[in-house]
Amino acid sequence: MCYNIFIMYPELSVNPQSESKFKKRVPLWLAVFLVIIALTAGVFWGEGIADKKNSDNLSAKTYGTVVSKDGPLPEYLTKDVNFNLFWEVWQKIQNLYIDRPVGETKMLYGAMSGLVGSLGDPYSIFLEPVTTKKFSDDLKGKFEGIGAEIGLRDKLITIVSPLPESPAERAGLKAGDKIVEINGESTEKMTLDDAVNKIRGDKGTIVKLKIFREKDNNFHEYDITRDEIKIVSVRLEIKDNNIAYLQVTNFNDDTDVRFKKAVEEIILKNPKGIILDMRNNPGGYLERAVDVASYWLTSDQSVVLEEFASGERQTYFSKGVGQLKNYPTVVLVNGGSASASEIVAGALQDAGLAKLVGEKTFGKGSVQTLENLSDGSSVKLTIARWLTPLGRQIDVVGIEPDEKIELTEEDFNQGKDPQLDKALEMLSR
């Protein structure tokens, strides 16, 4: 579900001297609640990403002339490749490497990981068969781990959002925390995939995390016991003054059925207004985002635009009749709202059907497709970027709320929620 600023990796050493250097080099905008699934088990990949379950509906036009943002690539990068070089290296490893022979499957998977890694995109990764299965299980909403999404910001392994009632949330991890060590190992040269695999684990086992929190400019250490994480993506509550509070924590396999049931209850209650809480929602499937937005938008209204490398755009329209369009709606967002949740928030904001309250969203607006391979492995590739219906960029930029209300660490510790209070106030007028 995911991470997309590509600059040099800051110093992440954790001795006393380098800790002060790290504090100086962390960008100020990476605050406690500025964060992003691909999802992880107890840790999601990304970034909360809006994934496609397959790429069967992709147009061949997706793949055009090889260009960069600055124009055509240099000739040496586009000319015919001599693949004999690959086999030369392969044979030299098997003939000369001190610890030979090396398993051929290990070498093949390593080569494919390097191939995808050469793209320089942390959302595009090669997944071995075991990791592919774990990824698929995560999207079904059940896994073992700590219950947090991690992503990359300026190539820093960052907590996007801890899941509600998860071991990560109970331990005190917060959106925006930067992970500098996992079980005593520095994350300085660690890939997102490596971090995911090191943090996730069996129920009852412990993972040790050292994080840097910019809000208090300090390092913190946590011993977190992994547990089974069950995600129920939709929760409905009727607040005082007959205001419906609808919380969506992910856009996973169960979201469409659960959201439909919640909408049926809302219509029966005929509330004064609706609060759609997508704070710390890392995203999920594009289809689920379109499903949810369709309860406010009619079939002639767009939900999101998909822009490919060629500049071609595909529009995804609402699939519904807007059952909820006449209910005043406030959407709660923060720095942990990413990908699919940003799609829904942007669509309702552009259509003038909801006011956004909270903090700027994460800015995960790239599209990944998961391509399954013949041996059970897979490759996840970024193929496009999202724009709101009015053409606003989501990726990196994020979506600004109409009413900016910060939820401070002090508020959190005292059990206060000024963002929710503001939404209730707006709908009670």
* Residues designated catalytic: 339, 364, 368
Closest CA to 36 of 194, 233, 192: 192
Distance CA(186)–CA(197), nearest Å, equals: 14
Taking the CB of residue 269, how many other CB atoms lie within 10 A of it? 13
Distance CA(261)–CA(423), nearest Å, equals: 23
Distances (CA, A) of 392 to 2, 218, 314, 363, 409: 19, 36, 14, 11, 31
Closest CA to 134 of 232, 229, 250: 229
Which residue in this structure is represented by tokens 């990791």? 131
Distances (CA, A) of 61 to 26, 64, 313, 383, 396: 40, 6, 11, 11, 25
Residues 6+ apart with CB under 8 A from 298: 318, 320, 321, 322, 325
- For 72-108, letters b (16+ CB in 10 Å) and e give eeeeeeeeeeeeeeeeeeeeeeeeeeeeeeeeeeeee
The reply to whether omega before 10 is within 30° of 0 (cis) is no
Listed in order, strand segments (DSSP E) in 91-241 are 125-127, 142-145, 148-153, 156-162, 178-182, 185-186, 206-213, 218-225, 227-230, 234-239
Determine the longest span between alpha carbons in the chain, in angstroms: 77
SS3 label, residue 243:
strand
User: In this structure, are residues 280 and 161 in contact, taking their beta carbons and an 8 Å threshold?
Assistant: yes
Distance CA(275)–CA(292), nearest Å, equals: 14
